[in-house]
Chains A and B, each alone.
Chain A
């Protein structure tokens, strides 16, 4: 599934780009790939978003933030949560991945590499502080549902890794 299957009115893109994930403020919801469609009809915007993880508490806030951003731009809106197709980390844009890295969260690897890291202790996740790949998994579960905890054995920096979801 590619992000090109999104259906978003161009005029809305700059507005939606200003809405960010409350738990990862550097990442806009557009770069995260959670907005599946946003269409203006009779001056009402219908937005469809898809949850990253089922229990992600950020989704309710994101819904509210979208409404208020659109309201400021003069639109009434309806936000709907859709489950299918299910969100995958592949939908995070290159710009989103860079924002994550700059923020100190290692971006998700491919599904295959992710398995190697989480199950076989392979050292390939790059430390967000020094770039070394001499890093190890501390815990498969991190501060939020989407992240695992890592530590760099070269610079000793602990950091988060955004788990691959596919």
Chain B
């Protein structure tokens, strides 16, 4: 099988899977009915996208593994998602800051993936980008509302931005699979997205009367399977049913 392509697809899909699971935790627990529904809608979009990617990955694998196996039955070190998306829902400011910092990247990434020479990936990107543009609207709106809100909401949003900032640089790291796929015209060169990303993020932060955090040192490792402790707990919940009752279906 095409190992690099397989790993590359998982690298994209795992971000959506883990973020989708995080947002799903808010089902019935959102701070208001509308935000609860919005977060779970975004979660649903992300899971839908994940299914398209994993179905394709399963086809490439060419053995009897299914999309569900790929989603549910890997070990922590085999997940290639960035550290940003596994960070917990500490409070609503963290949830929205995490979403915004990922959405800006996600939107730029999909715009490039649409140009992939791999027709399945470009079709998926073309489908997803419409949905993700809604996500980015929603999250950037909340950054502004909380940043330029009350003293308390501003302090909380600033704290969330400062706390999550250290996870942003990893979005632009390349794995071996990334590099191989860029050469073949299939993958997106994420290093080229970095400048526009920070420009866009800073512009929204400025409009939100927030400080753009500064950091010389950034966390990394998720793309190589080295995660923060949060992922283990998340996977325990995500995988519980499949582990306890192998092959169960709804």
Chain A residues with CB under 8 Å of chain B are 51, 53-57, 83-87, 118-119, 138-145, 149, 163, 165-166
Would B130 and A55 count as touching, CB distance under 8 A?
A: no
Quick check: A55 and B38 within 8 Å, CB to CB?
Answer: no
- Beyond the given pairs A53-B48, A84-B127, 12 more chain A to chain B contacts, judged by CB atoms under 8 angstroms and listed by A's residue number, are A53-B44, A53-B45, A54-B128, A83-B52, A83-B126, A84-B123, A86-B130, A139-B35, A140-B38, A142-B37, A145-B45, A149-B34
**Count of chain B residues with a beta carbon within 8 Å of a chain A beta carbon:** 27
A132 to chain B, nearest CB (A): 22
Shortest CB–CB separation between residue B115 and chain A, in angstroms?
14
A118 to B138, CA, bound (A): 10
Among A54, A118, A143, A166, the residue within 8 A (CB) of B49 is A54
CB distance from A36 to the nearest CB of B (A): 13
Q: Check B119 for interface membership: any CB of A closer than 8 A.
A: yes
**Is B179 an interface residue when CB atoms closer than 8 A count as contact?**
no
Tell me, in angstroms, the Cα distance from A117 to B107 when the chains sit together.
Answer: 21
Given the known interface contacts A139-B34, A141-B138, the answer about A86 and B126 at a Cβ–Cβ threshold of 8 Å is yes
Cβ contacts under 8 Å, A139 to chain B = 34-35, 37-38
Determine the chain B residues whose CB is within 8 A of the CB of A51 once the complex forms.
48, 127
| A57–B48 alpha-carbon span in the complex (Å) | 9
Docked complex: B105-158 residues within 8 A CB-CB of A: 119-120, 122-124, 126-128, 130-131, 134, 137-138
Residues on B lying within 8 angstroms of A by beta carbon are: 34-35, 37-38, 41-42, 44-49, 51-52, 119-120, 122-124, 126-128, 130-131, 134, 137-138
Q: Give Cα A84–Cα B126 distance, bound, in whole angstroms.
A: 8
Give the contacting residue for B45; candidates A55, A142, A143, A149; CB below 8 A: A55
Check B123–A54 contact: CB distance below 8 A: no
Contact call A55/B46, Cβ cutoff below 8 A: yes
Closest to A83 in B: B123
Known contacts being A53-B48, A54-B127, A55-B47, is A118 close to B37, with CB within 8 Å?
A: no
Say what secondary structure dominates the interface of chain B.
Answer: helix
> 22 A-B residue contacts at CB 8 Å?
A51-B127, A54-B48, A55-B44, A55-B47, A55-B51, A83-B52, A83-B124, A84-B119, A85-B126, A87-B127, A138-B34, A140-B38, A141-B34, A141-B38, A141-B138, A142-B41, A143-B37, A145-B41, A145-B44, A163-B134, A165-B130, A166-B130
| A141 touching B37, Cβ below 8 Å | yes
Chain A residue nearest to B45 (CB atoms) is A55
Q: Do residues A53 and B131 form an inter-chain contact, with CB atoms below 8 A?
A: yes
Interface of A: prevailing SS: loop
Shortest Cβ distance from B68 into chain A, in angstroms? 14
Complex contacts, B131 vs chain A, CB 8 Å: 53-54, 145
Q: Which residues of A lie under 8 Å from residue B124 when comparing CB positions?
A: 83
Give the residue among A54, A83, A140, A144 with the most B Cβ atoms within 10 A: A54
CB-CB under 8 A from B137, the residues of chain A are 118-119, 140
A11 and B169 CA atoms in complex are apart in Å by 57
Q: Given A51-B48, A53-B131, A166-B130, do A141 and B42 touch, yes or no (CB 8 Å)?
A: yes
CA distance A107 to B243 in the complex (A): 44
Chain A residue, CB-CB nearest to B132: A54
Residue of B34, B35, B37, B45 touching A54 (CB-CB under 8 A): B45
Q: Which residue of A lies closest to B134 (CB)?
A: A140
Q: Which residues of B contact A54 (CB under 8 A)?
A: 45, 48-49, 51-52, 127-128, 131
Complex CA–CA separation, A53 to B43 (angstroms): 12
Q: Which residue of B lies closest to A87 (CB)?
A: B127
Across-interface contacts of B127 in A (CB, < 8 A): 51, 54, 83-84, 86-87
User: Which residues of B lie under 8 Å from residue A166 when comparing CB positions?
Assistant: 130
A165 to B134, CA, bound (A): 10
Query: CA of A110 to CA of B115 in the docked complex: distance in angstroms?
Result: 26
7 interchain residue pairs of minimum CB distance: A55-B48, A54-B48, A84-B123, A139-B34, A141-B38, A55-B44, A141-B41
